[in-house]
Structure 1
Amino acid sequence: MQSQHVAPRPAPASGPVVDVGQAEAALVEHYPRLVRLAYLVLPPGLGRSRRVLTAHALTQRALPRGRATASLIPAQAKTAAESLWEGRDGDPGYALVRLRVVRSALEAGRPLKRTAWPKRAQLPWPLPQVWGLRLFPRSGGADELALDQRLSALSGPARAAYVLRGLEKLPEDGVRKLLRAAGVAHPASAVREAGRVPVQDALLLSPEFDPCSLQARPTDLMRRRQHTKAALAAVAAVAVCGALLTLPDGGWGPDGAAAPSDVQNPAVRAALDPAGLTKVPPTAWTTSARTDFSVWPARGGLTRDTALLRRALVVWARPGGSVRVSATPGTPSGPPAGPPQLLYAGRVDAARVVVFYDGLRIVRYAEPDKGTGGAALDFARVDGASGAEADAVVLGRADGDVRYLTAPWVTGAAERDLLRPRSGAMDLGPDHGVTAPLAGRARQTGSCTSWNVLELTDGSGTRLLTDLGELTPAHLTVGRPGAPREVSGAAALRAWSPFACSLSTVWSQGVRSVNAWEYARQKLPDGSGEASWVCTRADTWRGGGPRVLAQFHTPGGRYGAVAAKAESVPACGAKDPHVLAGVLWKSAAGTWYLLAAGSKGTASIGATGGASGSARGNVLAVRTRQGVRAGLKGTLDDGREISGLR
């Protein structure tokens, strides 16, 4: 929000005198509406969880300390014969607290200045506080996400004007008067800017924007445990060596969170010099035949911050005990062998972030924008990455949302819910390669109701990537192994939709790509339609340890059911595309069946154990009973035998 939109607070307009009791009654009676108003006016850049707590804090602080004057601002369009103060909107107490809520929300969104004292609304407040949980409103549909994106592009006063007009039903004259009373310098300009967003009043009342109806998720448990240990160690250090903390060289020095150690290797010392960093020219990718990280230019507003770059390099070489270090499976976390390539250095939300590439790994260093604690160092293996695998890197995570840095050849980025293939995609930019926050879906703790993915567009087409908790998103494809296709178009999106939630099973496993292949279709024995058998194979950056799931999807079902799974097997892959799996299925009439299917080229299938039977071809249906255990054997057209996935 630009500070020039907000003027010094004007003198209160004449109006009814409201005592604190009357204001409290109005605040308590209309508390959910006032909190929703504050939530919508606050800048979306705060993140959903922080916006919720801030909205509640500002609303509770809107109660005056004594008698106050309510400004005569109409709350809804009325005829001349109608009373100015009628019903809820005619309550002077409500008018007063609403004005104070809007004023505080606008002030809370203004950036702090070194040359001026902060406003009260800009300071943190001890209440309300929630420890160990992240609270955020329930997710809406594509329309709500699109409206939230449009509101985030408005200035604070314009966002307030839109909300007052849509939620409070104020006429334009009333909106201008209220904004002027709240300290906005140019209310007419704010109203005109808000008018560029289509009127969608009903969406403002949706659960997406209701900070009183919340979902709760835990905070980062591992980080919280590490912070607790660090806090205990810090308390002990202060108690024993408090005097040492006052020494001039004891703070955030040039080495930052690096461990105290001398680097003697000349090659390593050269790699720690920011002047030696490789910085690719902005247009290098346009003339190169390569589409990998080696042609990414250095971007961000801090690429010339030598102190930050040196701190990031030194912490990479020898991270201290307070640095949170993570690496995807199979990724070495040692120091750079030579000067790495700089991909990004800039501010992301409330952190300073530096991203390097050394030909084998992506390395992300992050430190708080203010303060000295909580530095993080993350490693991800990306050797051989090209095309879609080199299209995006995670810059930061805040309140469950994810920001990406995209490749220079990416022309468009959007957010799409994979569970809703017919819903539209919400534009994410990017702005100088950095996307707007994508509503990430970290590991689900309850039912899986959505799975948001990143849709990127370049000159060659559209690609789909999904966040699996690592620095590089995984590439999603469809089709037969060895010849997969991009997930673009209605048919490909529908093919992935029932199986999106199964992606949580490969969270933080170093996944490079996930392919979904419908290898068989089977008519159900009760005549209720045709079921599909889909194999999803997640390949990793380290080559070994892929996870293969055989999933069964019945007509009309929203989710696929995992019938069988295996790890480190060639099945469903380019080297051996054959797969066989079975599932116990209950018909609408209550009859149990063992259903099995193999991929194309399966000549026959046989079942042994609790259910016995055989069939020619690649599908099998055997009547059985609940809870039986059976084995599967298949014979391919060339005579080779295969067994079912387990």
Structure 2
Amino acid sequence: MDERTRADVERAEAALVEHYPHLVRLAHLVLPPSMGRHRKVLTAHGLVQRALPWRAARRAAGALPAQRGPDTAAGYDLVRQRTLELALAYEDRRRPAVLLPTVPFVWGLRLFPRAGGADELALDQALSAVPAAVRAALGLWQLEGLEPEAARAVLARAGVADPDAALRAAGQLDRRTGAGAAALLAAGEFDPCTVHVRPTDLLRRRQRARAAAALAAVLAAGAVVAALPGGQPAARPAPTAAQQALDPGRLLRTPNEEWVRTSRVDFTAWPPRGRQAGDRRLLGRALRVWAAPPPGTRIVAAAGTSTRPPAEPPRLLYAGLIDNVMVVVFHDGERLVRYAEPEGATPTLHFARTDNADLATAGALVIGRGNGWQRYLIAPWVAGVAVRDLLAPDAPPHGLHLAPDGVTDRIPLPPAGGGPCGHWPATELRTSARLESHPAVLVTDLGDLAPVHLAYAAAPAGPAAPGEANGAPALHSWARTACTLRSLRGTGVRSVSNWVYARQPLPEGGGTAEWVCNRAETWRGPGRAMVQFEPPAAGPADPGRIAGRATGTAVCGPYGRGVLGGVRWQAESGTWYLLAAGGGRVDGIDVTGGVRAGADAPTLAVPAARDAPAEVTGRLPDGGTVRALQP
């Protein structure tokens, strides 16, 4: 240890107390994101509290004590350096093992910083994709305000192998952040001193307490029986269903080529794949974490998906290394469960509901995801994979390499948030010729384990049996609709279909407009419908205009009676018109209110002031009516 006087230690203690929030924020930034929010908050506080020097060096006989003063700058440099060294050690495997901080310790509660907006989320994702040294360089620059030379010296003393490279990477990351890293790092999402508090899983905690009490009672009874003269231990009871579900040897394993011999072509027909499919220790860990997640485990569940433990042995789909993360995927008949185990970090569990999957919706699953990319594990009946941009419908798809275990190369993620929507990657899955003729399936990622199936239908086929979105009309329709998919991210969507339910000649020779009903079906049942008016456009990807939408509705689905939409449209002459179009069983339209008109046809165009109130109603053959969806 460096020679330090008692005054040095006292100055360090004063600096730690005075600047504690700054030090904890710096430690929280540098620690690995894979630790999980709760563990990361507690570890950041523990590291700063351990950053104080253990003791002062003994003063030589006859030496005068060091002069005390109000300046704590030297003390702050000391505790900041020590904090940085401890935080960096959590990611550097070449360093000695890091002891977990013994304080603070929280029982029965989960702590996590406040949630931020889209910019904070984007920065958090970018930080998770760079090494700890880059995060440390960014913190010294943006949080501590150090000049490059000073930051380089601090990084070098902390053991960073290439401080210059870390500073350059931090600068690049800052430039990619539109809102500025300095402002975002000062937000609540990166402040481990201002946290929300929530309880842990109370039911699981109660079950663990009961299980521990029951185990103690069994052990005590066994000890008493063994101590009795001639006492013999009782026969071991048969394992319960819950215990059997955690036995790697009981995992269901579908035989290869089963998908050729069965009429149920879904996740139950997937054989186990991956190099670690026979690793009982890895499979056992994954099952135990699923049954009783340890503290700090990150749990992600799609909307409407249960995270309950397995009730019986699940089916193994994959076990192997994906981008330095050990991944195991199970299927229990209703859910996909992905266990991700980063080296030396807290695992993650991801749940997604997939009951009633079919050939299209069970064609792939997300096996890995990073900053701006993902990989699919594709179904055994998929013979080829290609990627296309939905916003470039006339561009050919690009073939994608497929590993022998069914894992694809990295695929770009669609844009998230409210930023620009300049591209939308979708993946084409070409089915094997060994199945009865089936066209290629188009899927895209919306944040869940199972990608979303994209479909297309045109009048008069109707929405009852939409086809695959792989022809020119379908691709051109999706080019004008793709960017609306961003609103569905993370909502547990199973499939989305575009139904061109009407084509309407526009007044004054304005060309022909299409009316499209875009319907999203969720795995849990309820759907969302959105009517889009698409007049002639200058480019194939020009977005349409949303005319109406509804949630929790059967509209545009196989059980919907009809759909109706209305918009105001201005001709080149400057005249405004009220346009309306119905689909399905709509065979007439009536307009009341400030505008009165009617048509014995599924489309209507009538001159109307731009702001004139109007109520549009569609007539059905049986005398019923439907109202136009509202924006």
When normalised by structure 1's length, the TM-score is 0.61
For 2:209 and 2:385, how far apart are their aligned partners in 1? Answer: 42
Give the match for residue 453 of structure 1: 426
Shift of residue 420 of structure 1?
0.8
- Contact 1:481–1:577, Cα closer than 8 Å, also in 2: no
1:548 aligns with 2:548: no
Give the match for residue 128 of structure 1: 168
Shift in CA distance, 611/588, structure 1 to aligned 2, threshold 3 Å: same
- Contact 1:465–1:475, Cα closer than 8 Å, also in 2: yes
1:329 aligns with 2:303: yes
Aligned with 1:559: secondary structure? coil
- Contact 2:415–2:423, Cα closer than 8 Å, also in 1: no
For 1:124 and 1:509, how far apart are their aligned partners in 2? Answer: 43
Unaligned runs of 5+ residues in structure 1 are: 1-47, 61-117, 136-211, 234-257
Shift of residue 325 of structure 1?
1.1
Shift in CA distance, 501/285, structure 1 to aligned 2, threshold 3 Å: same
Give the match for residue 101 of structure 1: none
For 1:278 and 1:526, how far apart are their aligned partners in 2? Answer: 65
Shift of residue 290 of structure 1?
2.2
**In structure 2, what residue type is equivalent to 1:542?**
R
For 2:607 and 2:628, how far apart are their aligned partners in 1? Answer: 18
1:497 aligns with 2:497: no
Shift in CA distance, 530/395, structure 1 to aligned 2, threshold 3 Å: same
User: Which stretch of the first structure deviates more once superposed, 418-427 or 594-603?
Assistant: 594-603
Aligned with 2:509: secondary structure? coil
1:506 aligns with 2:488: yes
Shift of residue 291 of structure 1?
0.8
Shift of residue 519 of structure 1?
0.6
Shift in CA distance, 559/260, structure 1 to aligned 2, threshold 3 Å: farther
The equivalent position to 1:527 in structure 2, one of 509, 530, 533, is 509
Shift in CA distance, 228/125, structure 1 to aligned 2, threshold 3 Å: farther
Shift of residue 601 of structure 1?
3.9
Give the match for residue 163 of structure 1: none
For 1:301 and 1:217, how far apart are their aligned partners in 2? Answer: 43
Shift of residue 591 of structure 1?
2.6
- Contact 1:547–1:565, Cα closer than 8 Å, also in 2: yes
Shift of residue 230 of structure 1?
11
Give the match for residue 571 of structure 1: 555
1:640 aligns with 2:624: yes
For 1:296 and 1:318, how far apart are their aligned partners in 2? Answer: 26
What are the Cα deviations for residues 409-446 of structure 1, in whole angstroms up to 9, with x where unaligned? 11111111111111121222221210111111142422
Q: Map residues 368-447 of structure 1 onto 2, 5 A cutoff.
A: 368=342, 370-373=343-346, 375-431=347-403, 432-447=405-420
Give the match for residue 340 of structure 2: 366
**In structure 2, what residue type is equivalent to 1:537?**
R
**In structure 1, what residue type is equivalent to 2:272?**
A
The percent identity for this pair of structures is 40
The equivalent position to 2:312 in structure 1, one of 338, 341, 349, is 338
1:301 aligns with 2:253: no
Shift of residue 216 of structure 1?
5.0
Give the match for residue 593 of structure 1: 577
- Contact 1:605–1:633, Cα closer than 8 Å, also in 2: yes
Q: Give the RMSD, CA atoms, in angstroms.
A: 3.4
- Contact 2:391–2:424, Cα closer than 8 Å, also in 1: yes
Aligned with 1:435: secondary structure? coil
Structure of larger gyration radius: 2
What are the Cα deviations for residues 255-283 of structure 1, in whole angstroms up to 9, with x where unaligned? xxx98984878221221122221222223
The equivalent position to 2:445 in structure 1, one of 464, 467, 485, is 467
- Contact 2:188–2:194, Cα closer than 8 Å, also in 1: no
Shift in CA distance, 218/516, structure 1 to aligned 2, threshold 3 Å: farther
Q: Map residues 2-17 of structure 1 onto 2, 5 A cutoff.
A: none
**In structure 1, what residue type is equivalent to 2:532?**
Q
Give the match for residue 324 of structure 2: 350
The equivalent position to 1:312 in structure 2, one of 276, 279, 286, is 286
Shift of residue 528 of structure 1?
1.6
Shift in CA distance, 231/352, structure 1 to aligned 2, threshold 3 Å: farther
What are the Cα deviations for residues 272-327 of structure 1, in whole angstroms up to 9, with x where unaligned? 12222122222332323321111211111222332322221111112234112121
- Contact 1:134–1:399, Cα closer than 8 Å, also in 2: no
Give the match for residue 537 of structure 1: 519
Shift in CA distance, 134/396, structure 1 to aligned 2, threshold 3 Å: farther
- Contact 1:600–1:618, Cα closer than 8 Å, also in 2: no
- Contact 2:402–2:409, Cα closer than 8 Å, also in 1: yes
